[in-house]
Copies of this chain bind each other. A is one copy, B any other.
């Protein structure tokens, strides 16, 4: 039997399960506080969630944020961050931080990187300087940053990819997962394994089994939202999520749309991160109950309504669509600030609504209503 549950720095209490689906509601306890799941984690790539202050994030209801190992390793450097007291102090965020392993960004570099068994050699996108990330150095960086939840170093496999490539890459990522665990010295930081295996059912199953055998504080699905259809993404979730230990949190990395989150929760996932709400905000795309709204459109020129009349965020409580359109058209900083505030609130609130529905035994009704509103045309 796995024994990591007894020693884990990450307690996970299951509070409720849905009868109509695999959805579940729980509470994660880290060394920096508790997190209600399912949870959405805003992405703070370079030591800041773009456009919002820590206090604003907390007002929005964010309970944990994500930091990017690749970016912080390159600039300002993990050793500098460590000397200044760690990432929490550096960026003035006291709640939990999850760091990715750097793998996703490094593998996105294309020609600028080269993989071998040891790790990945790559050139900085900032200045072309040469670097290497390995499972050991990735964990060292994440520990220097002071992450509360760390991720194993792995390869995010592109899609489509040959079965041979997927098999070899996944096998290597599993060896790297073991090395990542062996490299951990900070017993207070949790470590998650990441299931790979591309879009191949048997390779996903095998990857999950190997990770469970190694034993982690939580389990993630990687290699999704890489260009596959939503149907295929959900298929991979259905193959894989039931294999993961029910008593450990399940994290689906890098997704997604509000619909993706609802479907992933219905399939038993607990944790999510995505740049979509923050990046879309900066591009003037705002989430509402009825779907997305492009604030730059002329139809909002004179519109005194808030983005979503049912939304309780700071932006919707104080500003009209006309004002937000004006700020966006005028290229004002406040456009990004107010739009980001709204979109993050939308995501955080969506998760809260799902938690409430699961606890109340109404997740099926929630899901039906979620799609019904999206089918209403002409509202947003």
| Chain A residues within CB distance 8 Å of chain B | 46-48, 50-53, 75-76, 80, 83-85, 90-92, 301-302, 304, 318-320, 322-323, 325-327, 329-330, 332-334, 336-337
**What is the count of identical protomers in the complex?**
2
Q: A80-B322, A322-B84, A337-B337 are in contact. Are A330 and B90 (CB under 8 A)?
A: no
Taking CB as reference atom, which chain B residue is nearest A319? B92
| Of the residues B50, B80, B92, contact of A301 by C-beta under 8 Å | B80
Chain B residues closer than 8 Å to A50, beta-carbon distance: 332-334
Q: Which of A48, A80, A318, A332 has the largest number of chain B CB atoms within 10 A? A: A48
Chain B residues lying within 8 Å of A53, measured Cβ to Cβ, are: 334, 337
Q: Report whether B92 and A326 are in contact in the complex, using a CB–CB cutoff of 8 Å.
A: no
Residue of B nearest to A325 (CB): B76
Contact of A75 among B46, B75, B329 (CB under 8 A): B329
Contacts A90-B320, A322-B84, A323-B90 given; indicate if A334 touches B302 (C-beta within 8 A): no
In the complex, A307→B51 CA distance in Å? 21
Known: A48-B332, A76-B329. 4 other contacts (CB 8 A): A46-B327, A80-B301, A80-B302, A92-B323
A298 to B304, CA, bound (A): 47
- Taken together as a complex, chains A and B put the C-alpha atoms of A173 and B323 apart, in Å, by 34
Instruction: Please determine whether B91 and A323 come into contact, CB atoms closer than 8 angstroms.
Output: yes
Distance in angstroms from A333 CB to nearest chain B CB is 4
Q: Is the CB of A322 within 8 A of B48?
A: no
| B336 & A333 in contact (Cβ 8 Å cutoff) | yes
Q: Which residue of B lies closest to A46 (CB)?
A: B330
